Chains A and B, each alone.
Chain A
Amino acid sequence: MAALTIENLKKSYGSVKVLKGIDLDIEDGGFLVLVGPSGCGKSTLLNTIAGLEEISGGDIKIGGVSVDGLHPSKRDIAMVFQSYALYPNMTVAKNISFGMEIRGLPKSEIMATINEVAALLQIEDLLGRKPSQLSGGQRQRVAMGRALVRDPQVFLFDEPLSNLDAKLRVDMRTEIKRLHQRLKTTIVYVTHDQIEALTLATKIAVLKDGCLQQAGTPDEIYNNPANMFVASFMGSPSMNLMRAKVSEEAGQFTIEITSGAATALTLPVNGIADLQAYVGKSVMFGIRPEALTDPDGSDKKHGAEIVTRAAVIEVVEPAGSDTFAVARLGGIEAVARLRADAEVEAGQTSSLAFNMTKAVFFDPETELRIR
C-alpha cells in the first residue's frame, strides 16, 4: 500500500501530445477513478504509471519514490486490462501463477497462493480451464486473480467492466468495491462510465483531451463542477445547461431564459457574487434534473431556495422509481426529474420547482464556473 503522486506528467507520440501536464495524487488506500470520454488519454496515463509507456516529461512517485525508468515488474503494481489479457495458451491456474513462476517462488507457496485467491474470487472450479472456455465474467475474475496474487502497492484497472453485460457489470462493481474495502490497497481505476466513477471512487479525476479538468471527491465533482465539461459529463441524465441573461436590481440578481418567440422565464439568483461582472451579459445556467422537480417532490430541507415556475411539459418518460419529463423553459428544452406519482401529462402546463441552491453558472466563453 502506498500513495501515488503524479507531477506535471507529459506524454507524446511523436508530435501528438496525448497527456499535457497532469498533476494528480491519491492517498494511501484511496480509490482514484480516472474518467473521461474515449480517447482522452486515460489508458495512456495508466500505462505510464504501469511503466508500459515511457513518459515524455514530469514524474510519477509510488510511496514517495520516483518510478521513472523502472521496469513494470519492479514498480510493485498489478494491472487488470480492458481485454483481460489472459494468456490464451495457459490454464487459469497457470495464468495466475505465471508471474510467481517467473520470480522463482517455491511450488508449495505458489499453490497456496493460487488456492487462496481462487477461493476469494470463487473460481476454484475453473483453475484447469483455458481462457477460451470461460465466460466474460469468469475471465474478468481470473484477470483480477492474476492481479491479486501480486499483492502490490497499487492496483491499476483499465475499464475492467466495459466488456461485461449490464447486470454483471453492476455485480462486479459492487464486488470490486468490497474487495477494496477489504484489501485497502490503493487503486487507480479507469472508466468512461460516470456511474462507475461516482459509485467507486474516493477521488475522481476528470480528463479531457489529455488535460485534467477537475479532481475531487465524487460529491465535489458532482455538486461543484469546475467547468461546463465536468458538469455535463458527470450525471445521468446530464445537467441542463441553458443560456441566460443576467440583470440586477437593488442588489438582487435575476436571470432570464429566453429563446425565439417563447415567453421568457426569470429566476432570482442569490449568493453568486461574481455574477456582478456579467450583468447585462449572458451566462450558462446549469441545473441538474433532480433540482428541477414537481413542487411536492422538491427538497424542503434547511432553507433550500425553491422557486416555482410554470412550464410546458413536452414528453413524459416514466422510469419506475422516477418520472423524467422534458419541459420547455423559456423555449429551451430541459429534463426534470419528478416523483413517480407526480401528476403530469404531455402537452400540459405544470408547475416546476427550481432548487436554486443547486444551480450553477458558467462563463459561456471560457466555460469556467462562476461562483
Chain B
Amino acid sequence: MSGVSQDNAVTGNRLTRALIYTVLIFFVIYYLLPLYVMVVNSLKPLDEIRGGNLMALPQNWSLQPWRDAWSAAQIGVEPTGLKPYFANSFKIVVPAVILSTIVGALNGYVLTKCRFRGANVVFALLLLSCFIPFQIVLIPAARILGLLGIAGTIKGLILIHFVYGIGFSTLFFRNYYAAFPTELIGAAQIDGATFFQIFTRILLPNSGPIIVVTVIWQFTNQWNDFLFGASFSGFDSTPMTVALNNLVNSSTGVKEYNVHFAGAILAALPTLFVYVVSGRYFVRGLMAGAVKG
C-alpha cells in the first residue's frame, strides 16, 4: 500500500514540475521573443526584411546596420549616426546620477539622524516630488532653465535630472538610514567626528546596497527619459532617446528597419549592462531594505 501511494506522490510531483516548467518556458519565450526579433533583424540586409519573415534567421549575416546606426545614419539633418547622442546621454546622465545620489544620501542622513523640527514635513514634500507628473513641471522648468541661461544645454538637462532624481534617492536613503543604528552616530560623535566625517566615514561605507539601488534606479530612469530630452535639449545636447526617435521617424529616404533595430538595441545597451553587472546587488539591496526597514 505504502509503495503505491509513494509512487503516486512522485508522479504527482513530476506532473507539477512539468507544468511549472512549461509555464516558465512559455514566459521566457514570451519575454525574449521581441529581443530575438530585434537582434536577428538588425543583422539582416534591408531587402531580407522587406521580402520575408521577421522571425527568420538572416541568410546573409551583416554588421552593416550596426555600423550605420552607430556612425552613419541620418539623424535629423546630419548623417552622424547615434554616436554623438550616445555621448550626450552619458554626459547628462553620469553627473546627474552622481549628484542626485549624493544629495539623496545627505538628505537621508539629515532627515533621520539630525532630527529637526518639521523633518517629516520636509520628507513628505520631497516624497511628493516623486509623484508629480513630468508634464506639470515642463513649463516652469523651461522658465527656470531660461533664467539660468542654460536652456538647451547639457548643463540644463543635468540640472533637470538631478533635481528630479532627488525625490527618489532621498526616499531610498531615508528609509535605509532610518534602520541604521543611531548609537553608531552617537559613538562617532563622542569620538569627535564632525557632521561630514560621520557621513563619509561611517554612513557611506555602510550604504553599499542602497547606493547600488539608487544608482541603478536613477541611471535607468534618466537614460530612458524622453520627455525632458525632447523638451529641453538643443542641437548639440540631444540625448540618445530623442535621437533614436529622430532616426526612426526621419521622413527622408527609405525606412531602414535593420538600422532602426540596431539603434534601438544600442540605446538599450547601457541599462542592460547596468542591470547585468549590478542586478544581484539591486535585489539584495531591496531585500535588505525590506527586512531592516
Q: Assess the A52–B206 pair: CB atoms within 8 A.
A: no
Q: Assess the A99–B186 pair: CB atoms within 8 A.
A: no
Q: Assess the B189–A52 pair: CB atoms within 8 A.
A: yes
| Contact string against B for A residues 122-166, beta-carbon threshold 8 Å, 1 for contact and 0 otherwise | 000000000000000000000000100010000000000000000
| Contact string against A for B residues 191-215, beta-carbon threshold 8 Å, 1 for contact and 0 otherwise | 1110001000110011000000000
Which of B181, B186, B202, B205 meets A72, CB within 8 Å? B186
B187 contacts chain A at the CB level, 8 A cutoff: yes
A182 contacts chain B at the CB level, 8 A cutoff: no
* A-binding residues in B (CB < 8 A): 181, 183-184, 186-193, 197, 201-202, 205-206
B residues in contact with A87, CB < 8 Å: 184, 187-188, 202
A102 contacts chain B at the CB level, 8 A cutoff: yes
Q: Assess the B192–A47 pair: CB atoms within 8 A.
A: no
B residues in contact with A88, CB < 8 Å: 206
Name 7 extra pairs, CB < 8 A, besides A77-B190, A85-B184, A89-B205. Answer: A81-B183, A83-B181, A89-B206, A99-B191, A99-B192, A146-B191, A150-B190
Q: Assess the A85–B181 pair: CB atoms within 8 A.
A: yes
Q: Assess the B192–A73 pair: CB atoms within 8 A.
A: yes
Q: Assess the A52–B202 pair: CB atoms within 8 A.
A: no
Q: Assess the B206–A103 pair: CB atoms within 8 A.
A: no
The interface size bin for chain A is 20 to 34
Knowing A87-B202, A89-B206 are in contact, say whether A82-B183 is a contact too (CB < 8 A): yes
B residues in contact with A51, CB < 8 Å: 189
Q: Assess the B197–A85 pair: CB atoms within 8 A.
A: no
Chain B: minimal CB distance from A82 (Å): 7
Q: Assess the B205–A47 pair: CB atoms within 8 A.
A: no
Q: Assess the B193–A50 pair: CB atoms within 8 A.
A: no
Q: Assess the A102–B191 pair: CB atoms within 8 A.
A: yes
Which of B186, B189, B201, B206 meets A71, CB within 8 Å? B189
A residues in contact with B201, CB < 8 Å: 98
Chain A: minimal CB distance from B184 (Å): 5
Which of A77, A83, A98 meets B188, CB within 8 Å? A98
For window 1-54 of chain A, which residues contact chain B by CB distance below 8 Å? 47, 50-52
> CA A85 – CA B189 in complex, angstroms?
12
A residues in contact with B197, CB < 8 Å: 102
A47, A79, A83, A85 — most chain B CB neighbours (10 Å): A85
A78 contacts chain B at the CB level, 8 A cutoff: yes
Which of A79, A98, A103, A150 meets B186, CB within 8 Å? A79
Q: Which A-chain residue is minimally distant from B208 (CB atoms)?
A: A89
For window 70-127 of chain A, which residues contact chain B by CB distance below 8 Å? 71-73, 77-79, 81-83, 85, 87-89, 98-99, 102-103
Chain B: minimal CB distance from A85 (Å): 4
> CA A3 – CA B206 in complex, angstroms?
38
Q: Assess the A50–B188 pair: CB atoms within 8 A.
A: no
A residues in contact with B190, CB < 8 Å: 50, 52, 72-73, 77-79, 99, 150
> CA A83 – CA B197 in complex, angstroms?
22
Q: Assess the A102–B183 pair: CB atoms within 8 A.
A: no
Q: Assess the B186–A83 pair: CB atoms within 8 A.
A: no
Q: Assess the B186–A47 pair: CB atoms within 8 A.
A: yes
For window 311-352 of chain A, which residues contact chain B by CB distance below 8 Å? none
> CA A47 – CA B193 in complex, angstroms?
17
Chain B: minimal CB distance from A80 (Å): 9
B residues in contact with A78, CB < 8 Å: 190
Chain B: minimal CB distance from A357 (Å): 46
Query: Would you mind naming 25 contact pairs between A and B with Cβ atoms under 8 Å apart?
Result: A47-B186, A71-B189, A72-B186, A72-B189, A73-B189, A73-B190, A79-B186, A81-B186, A85-B181, A85-B184, A85-B186, A85-B187, A87-B184, A87-B188, A87-B202, A88-B206, A89-B206, A98-B191, A98-B193, A99-B190, A99-B191, A102-B191, A102-B197, A103-B192, A146-B191
